Amino acid sequence: MNDSRDIAPETATSRLELMWGQAGLDRLRRSLVVVLGVGGVGSNCVEALVRGGVGRLVIVDGDEVAPSNINRQAIAFVDTVGKRKVEAMRDLIARINPEAEVSPIDVFLKAENVPALMDGIISKQGMPAYVVDAIDTVSAKLAVASWAAERGVPLISSMGGAMKLDPSKLRVCDLFETANDPLARVMRKECRKRGIDRLTVLSSFEEPMRRPGGAARAGRQAGAPKAPLGTASYLPPIMGQMIAGHVIRSIIDGAQAKGQGRARGTEAGGAPAGGQPATSHPDEAAAAPALRLRTHEPASMPAGNRKA
């Protein structure tokens, strides 16, 4: 019979320490992660990062909680409707880990303000271990990708989860390996124009379901107004959890110190640009370069990507 006196009292990080050890926990506690957008994907990603031991966060969002957010956002409850999202997120973080350092920025990200805002974060907080793009405006996503590539900052970008149902079709992969993702299709086109030929993303390979009585809406162009799309209660939270897992594994593995996102002509380790794209396997993607600006014309897109 076990003697309970021989069992150390559990803490909020006891189960994490059994996986990562104290050194891993210390690395997570010191690491800065910037999450852009705390909606369905972003809020659940932040929650998982905090529960997973990440100790420093910058959260950026310029919106308030709406009734329609309740079906999928970690911060959305009847009593938080109308509250600024970054405030609701900060409050949730404090309930999980009061010692976490949180910098909320109540700003709506646009292509024009991304460089100054991100450079300001670095000047005040230091270089982030990772940036998570969980915003849904194409022009802003492209600005974030360009900024991260130019500065060599690890980035993972969430693609579309609307009108999707099957979590088993989600993959961490390179943007140019995606299929059946309308948002990724637009991003591929626009990234090629900007010389970005590698970007780590979380994407669903499931074909979007059709609206009742109509066809699924195609990806919108950069800057175009957005119409609401149906969203399952469970898919954005799973996407946020998967992105958090990718970030945590990358931090633990020290991937952020291996030159991820090296821009303009070199990859991690100083290899010439134009090497193999990031692996599509989730367990291997954590150690792959996050993105890269090309210095040459891209190869033609694989046939499997043209359909989406």
> How high is the pLDDT of residue 2?
57
pLDDT of residue 211: 76
74 φ, ψ (degrees, to nearest 5): -65, -20
Residue 8 has a pLDDT of 73
Give the model's pLDDT for residue 283.
35
> What's the rounded Cα separation, in Å, for the pair 29 and 27?
5
What pLDDT sits at residue 299?
36
Pairing of strands 291-293, 196-204: antiparallel
CA distances from 283 to 47, 93, 98 (A): 21, 27, 31
Helical ranges in the chain per DSSP H: 14-30, 40-51, 85-96, 114-125, 138-151, 182-193, 235-253, 282-285
10-residue averages of pLDDT along the chain (308 residues) = 67 94 95 98 98 98 97 98 98 98 97 98 97 96 97 96 96 98 97 95 95 54 68 96 98 60 34 33 39 42 40
Question: What's the pLDDT at 229?
Answer: 87
Residue 130: per-residue pLDDT: 98
Which pLDDT value is given to residue 297? 35
Domain 13-209+232-253 belongs to what topology? Rossmann fold (3.40.50)
Whether this model's pTM surpasses 0.75:
yes
